[in-house]
Amino acid sequence: MLFSKVFRMVILGAPASGKGTISKRIVDRFGFVHISPGDMLRLHVLHGSDLGKKAKKYMDEGKLVPDEIVMKCVLGRITEVGNKSWMLDGFPRTLVQAERLSASEPLHAVINLDVPHDVIIERVKGRWIHLSSGRVYNVGFNDPKVPGKDDVTGEDLVQRADDKPDVVAERLNVYEKMLRPVLNYYQKQELITNFKGSTTAEIWPQVEKFLLAKRMKAVAESIQG
């Protein structure tokens, strides 16, 4: 069942904390539109668009893509999605992005996934993705039905250029430095909820319970008018 009112949320967390994996479950369960700037940027790089050419060098080094480029991409997509419930995966990542998003879109919730870094470094080694959809697999956790092939399209899976160990270490550094002010910003607005755990099996039931409660509240509010 969908939310009775439009619901807008953000999911944050370190690289490979499971944002994409949890997002997929939220989409399946609650029907939100998934907006992942990381997936969008990877597609631009794949297609060699002007935006992709500009973004590639930052992504390959594990650095953040400049705010102007990412903002344009995200706000354009939000406009396309229109009057539906959506969730932003891995955005905002800087205070500038958070402030500009708030100026354009009121948010109902911010979810932060808190996963130990040693778990993250192990996970990245086994990650394979389907580039055009952003579907993500992990050897031994959610294996594709046919090794190396996407379950839906049968197309080849690839490993991400930024999943090399030294680039992952840089992404974790950038995350620690840049995300703290964003977390504080949402903390002050009492919008953020932290979900702690080492596995999706631990985190998903907490997230599901949280969103079910939000949905109940939205239903109660719509009955009260």
Is residue 13 at the binding interface for ligand AP5, with CB under 6 A as the rule? yes
Residue with nearest beta carbon to Mg ion: 20
Q: How many residues contact ligand AP5, by CB under 6 A?
A: 35
Is residue 20 at the binding interface for Mg ion, with CB under 5 A as the rule? yes
Is residue 141 at the binding interface for ligand AP5, with CB under 6 A as the rule? yes
Nearer residue to ligand AP5 within complex by CB, 142 or 219: 142
Q: How far is the CB of 121 from ligand AP5 (least distance, A)?
A: 11
Report which DSSP code applies to 161: G
Burial class (CB in 10 A: 0-12, 13-18, 19+), 83: exposed
Question: Among 86, 90, 157, 211, which residue interacts with ligand AP5 (rule: CB under 6 A)?
Answer: 90
| Residue linked to tokens 């997230």 | 207
Q: Find, among 64, 87, 67, the residue nearest to 6 by Cα.
A: 87
Mind telling me the catalytic residues? 19, 93, 127, 160, 171
d(CA 133, CA 135): 5
Q: Which alpha helices (DSSP H) does 4-160 contain, by range?
A: 19-30, 37-47, 50-60, 67-81, 95-104, 117-125
Pairing of strands 33-35, 8-13: unpaired
Binding residues for ligand AP5 (CB under 6 A):
13, 15-21, 37-38, 41, 58-59, 62-65, 70, 90-93, 97, 123, 127, 136-138, 141-142, 162, 171, 199-201
- In the complex, the residues that contact Mg ion under the rule CB under 5 A are 20
